[in-house]
Amino acid sequence: MSVEQNKALVAGWYEAINSPDWEIQARPFISDLAVWKGFVDLHRPFREAFPDYHAEIEGLIGEGDHVAVWTRVTGTFSKPFEAAGMSGIEPQGQKLAWPEAVIYDFGEGVPNIVYWGVDELGRLRQLGALA
């Protein structure tokens, strides 16, 4: 696929996972069933904790087999989330926002995440868990 096709695929992925019916919309993007189940197992508790999750693409660049995307993720902390350093923090309806960056490698014809950075410390500061 061309760089532009790869960028369009990544943009489509974010459109799908932003959808309220993300499990239906995002399914066509992951053909391997085990990988899909792993993604759902990881993402579903997060979406339950942040039901209005939204990842806004702020930048999308591609070169060769790689596409990099950076997003601003927003959501309202509505249910306990036992991962990402948030274990034991009670939700109080806090509206949070944090940056994420992902680099995808399309070298084998399918997107593989080679880097995923999340500002977890910034998210914890917004929750008052860190000074």
Residue 131 pLDDT exceeds 90: no
Rg (CA), the chain: 15
CA angle at 31 for the pair 44 and 102, rounded to the nearest 5°:
60
Q: What is the largest CA-CA distance in the chain?
A: 46
pLDDT of residue 82: 86
pLDDT average, residue stretch 99-120: 92
* Residue 115 burial (C-beta neighbours within 10 Å; 0-12, 13-18, 19+): exposed
Closest CA to 58 of 107, 119, 105: 119
CATH, range 3-126: 3.10.450.50
Contact between 52 and 76 (Cβ < 8 Å): yes
pLDDT at residue 32, as a whole number: 87
Average pLDDT on 95-99 reads 98
Domain boundaries, the chain: 3-126
